Amino acid sequence: MAKQPKPTETLSIWKDAQKMITKARKDGVETVWDRFEQQTPGCKFCELGLTCKNCNMGPCRISPKEGGKMQRGVCGADGDVIVARNFGRFVAGGSAGHSDHGRDLIEVLEAIVEGRAPDYSIKDEQKLFRVAEEVGIAVADKSAIQVAKELADSCFDDFGSRRKQISFVGRVPEKRQAVWQKHNVVPRGIDREIAEMMHRTHMGCDNDAVSTLLHSARTALADGWGGSMIGTELSDIIFGTPAPSNSQVNLGVIKKDEVNILVHGHNPVVSEMVLAAAREPEMIERAKAAGASGINIGGLCCTGNELLSRQGIPMAGNHLMTELAIVTGAVEAVVVDYQCIMPGMVQAAACYHTQFITTSDKARFTGATHISFTPEQAAEQARQIIDMAISAFAGRDASRVDIPDTPVDIMCGFSNEALLAMLGGSLDPLLDAVKSGAVRGFAAIVGCNNPKFQHDSQNVGLAKELIKRDILVLATGCVTTAAGKAGLLVPEGAKMAGPGLSKLCKSLDIPPVLHFGSCVDNSRVIHLCGLIADALGVDIANLPVWGASPEWYSEKAVAIGLYCVASGIPVHIGTPPHITGSKLVTDIALNGLEEIFGASFLVEPDFGAAAAQMDERISAKRLALGLTDPAGDRVK
């Protein structure tokens, strides 16, 4: 018997999503929620992390039943080893994604230096010199191009295996470095740690769950303080460091009478060029000749966040909105690079006139139109993409167009540099607010959507709960769109905050939730925590801070969570990764990491309960720092 479709209000908290899910059903478009239903319930063994396919004596699976003789795989691996190995590879996957993204920016910087990328330039020279100096490059009397060359070389070297530690470890507070040294997890080379993870998890290598988990932490640190940080810093140098500006969010940013192009994925290398081409008068003329009134670029997911941060382009939606954006029937082209692009989008696009254009040779989709994007031909290829979208406009069927909402205003584009500038060049005003208790602590809410939850219910719920408790929230990744739609990314959102935070927001004219960019930009968050710890003369683990990813889904999210924990920042997640088949591994994640890194994971599917626990720890950390916690008993 066919299942009844679930009421749309139970699937997403948003009106635009609910309307488009209904339209998708009517138009016969399959969405992530339909496929989730088909896949439920998932395989129990896999959910517990107790299946192994690492060799061809298997596959093996361990029964989670307590008691009796302990089951082992054909090779003799027990459940703890299998779970730890699977988790290690999961972290390696996420770290590889972020880091390979970072590498692509080094290649663009190299192409700029060598004069092969005429369409790109160095937008933030000041930052170029500052970062170069930080990683030990002598910059005096050198040209920007020379410094850029040396910085690109240094970044490439961070990926290799000849260094004892990656460059940005120099940014880590000494107390934290000492923790890493003690447990031998200082990341040496980004590719090295990832490759070593794959090696260790080959049959017959690292057969001790604790040892494998420690290397998982090292691999994740190579992402956070390595690949991701390189991604962020070089993006700022090439495309400009984000500064606050205003934009809009939700499916209402799609324009009825314009050629709509949505950029999706993660890397700004392609999307920045698409945007630049869309702004050329000649391209706009061509769109007009085709009967449109202009060209509209909207963002999805993290490449959207990259453009939102630096260029203020509007955001159409986050992860679970990506197929629904196509269902509006008003999208001429979706231009993607890599990561988090649901293959289902190709089928959705095929139901309308939408062109689905891939640009990275690393991320090809059967059924898509592929343009192999290179820095050498960037502008020309971007114009080609715009032309394809303009041609598609003629195929739009007006009777199938439905743009379901009007956009919500947001403030976007915070970076550590922007925050410092806003505070008058020093962190002191912020630290004073923390000391007085006006701001009791900080939480970064990070990442994704997952159909296991009502879309964005946890992301928004948690953000609201935290700001009510005078905890300043930084949002990255797909949480930014959720926070924006909820009215939390504008200064007026401060009316939802507690009295202390609300007052600070008013005095600085900032929202209670700060848009801190894409997922690689979580490197900004750990960097900021390092700066605050140094300013207070303590370890990061002593700070009243949290990370959270209530609706996470991706390997990258776990890499982020683990590098935060290994950096001393506790992390709340809404669902556990596939580790619960091992009591040992689960205990380490929830408690054991606390002894090693001074922070661990909190798994809590209910945002209210999570906020209460986060609050409690923030209170305890404040008291341990010798600060009072004036708001401690206000929220009970």
Exactly one of 316, 444, 478, 611 binds ligand XCC (CB under 6 A); which one? 478
**CA dist list (Å): 527 to 27, 169, 569:** 47, 10, 12
By CB under 6 A, the residues from 70 to 129 that bind ligand SF4 are 73-75, 77, 82
| Cβ proximity to ligand XCC, 301 vs 588, nearer residue | 301
350 binds, among ligand XCC, ligand SF4, none (CB under 5 to 8 A by kind): none
Q: How many residues line the site for ligand SF4 (CB under 6 A)?
A: 14
Contact range with ligand XCC by CB under 6 A, out of 104-112, 229-237, 389-397, 549-557: 549-557
Q: Taking the complex as a whole, how short is the minimal distance between the CB of residue 450 and ligand XCC, in angstroms?
A: 9
- Candidates 54-62, 126-134, 408-416, 480-488; binding stretch for ligand SF4 (CB under 6 A): 54-62
CA–CA separation, 483 vs 248, rounded Å? 12
Instruction: For residue 381, give both structure tokens.
Output: 């290829």
* Number of helices followed by number of strands (H, E) in the chain: 26, 16
Q: Is 340 in the site for ligand XCC (CB under 6 A)?
A: yes
**CB neighbour list of residue 216: distance below 8 Å, 6 or more residues apart:** 84, 87, 88, 91, 92, 197, 562
Q: Which residue pairs from 361-365 have beta carbons closer than 8 angstroms and sit at least 24 positions apart in sequence?
A: 362/100, 362/338, 363/265, 363/336, 363/337, 363/338, 363/339, 365/336, 365/341
Nearer to ligand SF4, 77 or 588 (CB): 77
Q: Find the binder of ligand SF4 among 30, 55, 139, 625 (CB under 6 A).
A: 55
Contact yes or no for 624/597 (Cβ under 8 A)? no
To the nearest whole angstrom, how small is the minimum distance from the Cβ of residue 481 to ligand XCC?
A: 9
Verify binding: residue 53, ligand SF4, rule CB under 6 A.
yes
Q: Which stretch binds ligand XCC (CB under 6 A): 33-41, 100-108, 237-245, 550-558?
A: 550-558
Q: Is the peptide bond before 59 cis (omega within 30 degrees of 0)?
A: yes
Verify binding: residue 302, ligand XCC, rule CB under 6 A. Answer: yes
Residue 363: both structure tokens together: 């991320």
Q: How far is the CB of 100 from ligand XCC (least distance, A)?
A: 14
Residue ranges in 169-208 that form contacts with ligand SF4 under rule CB under 6 A: 203
Smaller CB separation from ligand XCC, 286 or 319? 319
Give the per-residue SS3 of 553-592: CCHHHHHHHHHHHHCCCCEEECCCCCCCCCHHHHHHHHHH
Find the binder of ligand SF4 among 11, 13, 50, 60 (CB under 6 A). 60
Q: Write the interaction track for ligand XCC spanning residues 237-276; mark x where CB under 6 A is met and - where it is not.
A: -----------------------------x----------
301 touches ligand XCC (CB under 6 A): yes
447 binds ligand XCC (CB under 6 A): yes
- The answer to whether residue 46 forms part of the interface with ligand SF4 (CB under 6 A) is no
Q: Which is nearer to ligand XCC, 60 or 482 (CB)?
A: 482
H helix runs in 114-143, sequence order: 125-134
Give the closest residue to 53 by CA, choosing from 40, 67, 39, 43.
43
Q: Does position 519 bind ligand XCC by CB under 6 A?
A: yes
88 close to 213: Cβ distance less than 8 angstroms: yes
- Report residue 515 as tokens: 């848009």
Q: How far apart are CA 482 and CA 496, in angstroms?
A: 15
Our CB check for ligand SF4 shows the closer of 61 and 469 to be 61
Residue 447 binds which entry of ligand SF4, ligand XCC, none, CB below 5-8 Å type-dependent:
ligand XCC
Give me the least distance between CB of 631 and ligand XCC, in Å please.
30
Binding of residue 54 to ligand SF4 (CB under 6 A) = yes
Compare residues 135 and 194 and give the one whose CB is closer to ligand XCC. 194
- In angstroms, give the least distance from the CB of 71 to ligand SF4: 10
- The structure tokens 């692009």 sit at 341
Tokens (6 digits) for 26: 């009517």
Tokens coding 461: 């719920």
Which is closer to ligand XCC, CB of 214 or CB of 519? 519
Cis bond upstream, residue 577 (ω within 30): no
Query: Is residue 515 a contact residue for ligand XCC (CB under 6 A)?
Result: no
Q: Is 448 in the site for ligand XCC (CB under 6 A)?
A: yes
Q: For the CB of residue 476, give the shortest distance to ligand XCC in the complex, in Å.
A: 7
Q: Which window, 33-41, 69-77, 91-99, 131-139, contacts ligand SF4 (CB under 6 A)?
A: 69-77
Q: Is 554 an interacting residue with respect to ligand XCC (CB under 6 A)?
A: yes
Cα gap 380→58, rounded to integer Å? 50
Applying CB under 6 A, which part among 552-560, 565-573, 600-608, 628-636 lies near ligand XCC? 552-560
- Separation of CA 111 from chain center: 26
Sequence-separated (6 or more) residues with CB below 8 Å from residue 4: none
CA distance 615 to 617: 5
Picking from 313, 325, 230, 224, the residue whose alpha carbon sits closest to that of residue 274 is: 313
Site string for ligand SF4, 441-480 (x = CB under 6 A): ----------------------------------------
**Angle in degrees, CA 559, 564, 566, rounded to 5:** 95
Residue 319 partner contact from ligand XCC, ligand SF4, none using kind-dependent CB cut-offs of 5 to 8 Å: ligand XCC
Interacting span for ligand XCC (CB under 6 A) from 157-165, 390-398, 553-561, 581-589: 553-561
What tokens does 466 get? 């935290």
Which tokens sit at 329? 């029937």
Q: Binding of ligand SF4 at residue 59 (CB under 6 A)?
A: yes
User: Under a CB-based contact definition with an 8 Å cutoff, are residues 252 and 406 in contact?
Assistant: yes
Report in angstroms how near the CB of residue 52 gets to ligand SF4 at its nearest.
3
The secondary structure of residue 115, as a DSSP letter, is T
Torsion of CA 544, 90, 153, 187, to 10 degrees: 50
For residues 261 and 255, what is the distance between their CA atoms, to the nearest angstrom?
10
Q: Work out how close the CB of 476 gets to ligand SF4 at its nearest, in angstroms, rounded to a whole number.
A: 35
Q: Is 394 in the site for ligand SF4 (CB under 6 A)?
A: no
319 binds ligand XCC (CB under 6 A): yes
Which residues in this chain contact ligand XCC in the complex, by CB under 6 A?
266, 301-302, 318-319, 340, 447-448, 477-478, 518-519, 554, 556-557
Which residues in this chain contact ligand SF4 in the complex, by CB under 6 A?
52-55, 57-60, 73-75, 77, 82, 203
